[in-house]
Amino acid sequence: MKKFISWTAVILWMGLIFYLSSQLATESSKLSRGVTDVLLESVEKIAPDSKLHISDYNHIVRKNAHFFVYLVLGVLVINALDRRKKRSMLLAIGICILYAISDEFHQLFVPGRGAQVKDVFIDSAGACIGIVVYNLISRRIEGQGPRSSYYN
């Protein structure tokens, strides 16, 4: 049952990515500008003298969104696989990279959108970081389990 839930989470997250990639360029831009506005308003509350302009940061927010969305995908995929097997990391990375490529290809058919190789690299980097961090944390947690009687 746990595997079913894990793979369902992967498929739902991939569905969210597909939905976001299906948005027209104007809708996608409006969404990212909204997120950028919220972030800049938060920064201005902390540092009122900062002179930040949305046009300077919207691109950065968009690329960070690519990274973060695929970081989460990487975590979900490695969680769904048997992470104790050495090939699981490579398989998880492969799944995420192939999905990033297919996502960019899909955008070729969305009005106002296009495929960008650099986005595949950003997406892949996010997925790889998510997978590696997940593995490091998992190993750390598993290593803190009950000690054998040899150490007692």
Indicate the pTM of the whole model. 0.81
Tokens of 138: 């998992």
Amino acid, single-letter form, for residue 95? I
d(CA 108, CA 121): 17
- Walk along the chain (152 residues) in steps of 10 and give the mean pLDDT of each run: 94 96 76 70 75 69 89 97 84 98 95 91 97 91 58 39
Instruction: Kindly tell me the burial class for residue 144, based on how many C-beta atoms sit within 10 Å of its own C-beta (0-12, 13-18, 19 or more).
Output: exposed
* pLDDT computed for residue 38 by the predictor: 74
d(CA 85, CA 36): 40
* pLDDT computed for residue 68 by the predictor: 96
* pLDDT computed for residue 139 by the predictor: 84
* pLDDT computed for residue 150 by the predictor: 37
User: Within 10 Å of residue 137's Cβ, how many Cβ atoms?
Assistant: 11
